[in-house]
């Protein structure tokens, strides 16, 4: 269904595959976003849906290019990662939303959620937050908070390992193009509760084509 680029398995740990356009390396807040501009804006963390003062998770995955939830990211999570459950608690992410004619900054709830198991029990889980849409869906992007929950519903795996788990699997098993440490998100960096540990704020990118 999708074209897949070959990736050298030995380079997975420090993949340096570049994004489509050199100017697109910087993924941070700017003011010149408009129709047709190549621009992605999002906070590096998620907040509680009902209380945006409560920070919950860091963003550790970017989906770009071709980062539309349906069909691209959905296909990767459901058919390649094996995440076919959608039980979740709602979270929000501040990001640029809208369409080619108009964009604005909003703390919007997740677009979707997929996990490797249901709510009781241990599982891998990732929420997906879709950004503003472009004229071409190839330019659409999403972000995620990949993590692992254990049998006491604690995060028991570091955010770095959870990032690498998705990136490794999609690269090694399915040959997708991925980039470690794609860009830096200030609000993603820090100490996170339970087993989440210390995250460096550099999420990986998964190329959705």
The answer to whether the CB of 14 falls within 8 A of the CB of 179 is no
Report if residue 138 touches another protein, rule: CB under 8 A. Answer: no
Residues 65-94 touching another protein, rule: CB under 8 A, are 79-82, 87-90
Shortest gap between Cβ of 30 and another protein (angstroms)? 7
Using the rule CB under 8 A, which residue among 3, 23, 101, 120 binds another protein? 120
Among candidate residues 5, 2, 151, 161, the one with its CA nearest the CA of residue 67: 2
What is d(CA 100, CA 198) in angstroms, rounded to the nearest whole number? 37
Judged by CB, which is closer to another protein: 30, or 36? Answer: 30
Report if residue 98 touches another protein, rule: CB under 8 A. Answer: no
Report if residue 111 touches another protein, rule: CB under 8 A. Answer: no
Q: What are phi and psi of 86, to 5 degrees?
A: -125, 15
Report if residue 4 touches another protein, rule: CB under 8 A. Answer: no
Residues near another protein (CB under 8 A) are 12-14, 16, 18-19, 25, 28-30, 53, 55, 79-82, 87-90, 116-122, 124, 150-154, 156-158, 160-161, 164-165, 168-169, 172-174, 179-187, 189-191, 193-195, 197-198, 200-202, 205
């Amino acid at each position: 269904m999708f074209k897949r680029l070959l990736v050298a398995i030995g380079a997975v740990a420090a993949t340096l595959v570049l994004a489509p356009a050199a100017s697109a390396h910087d993924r941070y807040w700017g003011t010149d976003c408009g129709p047709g501009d190549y621009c992605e804006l999002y906070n590096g963390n998620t907040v509680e849906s009902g209380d945006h003062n409560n920070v919950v998770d860091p963003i550790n995955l970017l989906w770009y290019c071709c980062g539309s939830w349906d069909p691209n990211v959905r296909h990767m999570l459901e058919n390649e990662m094996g995440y076919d459950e959608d039980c979740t608690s709602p979270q929000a992410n501040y990001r640029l939303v809208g369409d080619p004619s108009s964009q604005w900054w909003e703390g919007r709830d997740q677009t979707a959620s997929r996990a490797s198991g249901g709510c009781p029990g241990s599982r891998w889980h990732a929420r997906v937050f879709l950004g503003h849409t472009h004229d071409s869906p190839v330019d659409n992007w999403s972000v995620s908070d990949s993590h692992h929950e254990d049998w006491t519903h604690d995060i028991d795996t570091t955010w770095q390992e959870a990032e690498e788990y998705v990136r490794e699997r999609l690269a090694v098993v399915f040959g997708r193009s991925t980039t470690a440490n794609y860009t830096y998100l200030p609000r993603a960096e820090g100490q996170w509760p339970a087993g989440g540990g210390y995250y460096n704020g550099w999420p990986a990118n998964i190329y959705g084509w």
